[in-house]
Amino acid sequence: MIKIILDCYGGDHCPEACVDGAIEALAAIPDLYLILSGDETDLRKQLEGKQYDAARLEILHAPQVIGCDERPTDVIRMKRDSSMIKAIRLLRDDDSVAAMVSTGSSGALVAAALTRIGRLPGVIRPAFCPILPTINGGLVSVCDSGANLECTPEHLRQFAIMASLYMENVYGVQKPRVALLNVGKEAEKGDEMRQTAYKLLSETAELNFVGNMESRDLLSGNYDVVVCDGFAGNVLLKATEGTAMELLIKLKKDIYSSWVYKLGAAIMAKMFKAEKDFFNYQNYGGSVLLGTSKVVIKGHGSSRKEAVVKCLEQAWRIQSSELNAKTEAVICKYEHYEL
């Protein structure tokens, strides 16, 4: 049985999306055991009349909720009874609980995970690693996408190692192609940090480093792992996601401007729906925080039921793959490089 704790508050569609997602995940995964964190009365009401295996679901009563604009450091100190902080504490204290999923505040989650859960031995900085679909049907991961705004070359090397092992063990990608996000493809491009990182990545035997990548090529399918500082990664991820959504909105608006286009679009309705689903990153799970000693996944704040199911499946797969033990074994080899 794999025990996962789900923070049911903090996201836009909470707690409905989380409760319904939990029920669906329980039905899909026979050895999944879920703990729902949040206000017990409210959660019991949400569960009322619904079909699920009650022997594999329990509730952790946590009456407080964390808002998106609260300062992470305040939250940890002041909101000890919140669904997120109580979940984190249980994850720390109960050896039988393997993982946690939350759609709440990223900042609070990172701060709480770092101070309460801690890092894998050898890991300098845990990092967010979301997954995106590529144009040829594959997947690409971006690490870090926002947990560490300022990074050293050694941080980036660790991100590369952790994300490579993640892609290999959880998504079955053989010898993941690792690229460094940069302003040009040539080896000498970028600032000093990037140039040193390029050298360090090239020298790391465990990695299949293929060189620099420009942000325009993220979805090309030529890369499996892209490493960068959290600021650039955040810009990359949101620009990619945002542009795809804006373009689809523009297409829709333009289609509605003419009855001829509306006719054309009616014929193509199924395709447009598929494009929208393709570029909806919720369909690919959440951002795992790589490098913490237990599995922590941040789901999109706007996650609906389907996205919550994806996050729970993802947490289950990561735990089943024994990713953390494998990561620890490789990271420790390079620990002497720590800066």
Interface with a copy of itself, residue 121, by CB under 8 A: no
Cβ 121 to a copy of itself shortest distance, Å: 27
Cis peptide before 153 (omega within 30 of 0): no
Stretch that binds a copy of itself, among 2-10, 51-59, 235-243, 292-300 (CB under 8 A): 235-243
Asked if 223 and 192 touch (Cβ cutoff 8 Å), the reply is no
CB of 128 closer than 8 Å to CB of 326:
no
297 to each of 34, 99, 176, 332, how far by Cα in Å? 14, 8, 21, 23
Structure tokens at 245: 């959504």
Binding mask 182-211 for a copy of itself (x = CB under 8 A): -x--x-x-xx--x-----------------
Query: Restricting to residues 60-99, which ones interact with a copy of itself according to CB under 8 A?
Result: 69, 71
CA dihedral in degrees (15, 20, 21, 27; nearest 10)?
150
Neighbours of 77 (CB within 10 A): 9
How far is Cα 327 from Cα 339, in angstroms, rounded to an integer? 19
Q: Minimum distance from CB of 262 to a copy of itself (Å)? A: 10
Minimum distance, C-beta of residue 300 to a copy of itself, in the bound complex (Å): 12
Question: Which of 53, 246, 322, 338 is close enough to bind a copy of itself by CB under 8 A?
Answer: 246
Among the listed ranges 19-27, 82-90, 247-255, 305-313, the one in contact with a copy of itself (CB under 8 A) is 247-255
Count interface residues toward a copy of itself (CB under 8 A).
58
Part of the chain binding a copy of itself (CB under 8 A), chosen from 3-11, 181-189, 307-315, 316-324: 181-189
Nearest to 332 by CA among 110, 161, 198: 161
**Residue corresponding to tokens 């508050």:** 9
CB 82 within 8 A of CB 62: yes
* Binding interface with a copy of itself (CB under 8 A): 69, 71, 135, 146, 149-150, 181, 183, 186, 188, 190-191, 194, 214-220, 228, 230-232, 234-251, 254-255, 258, 260-261, 263-268, 271, 274-275, 278-279
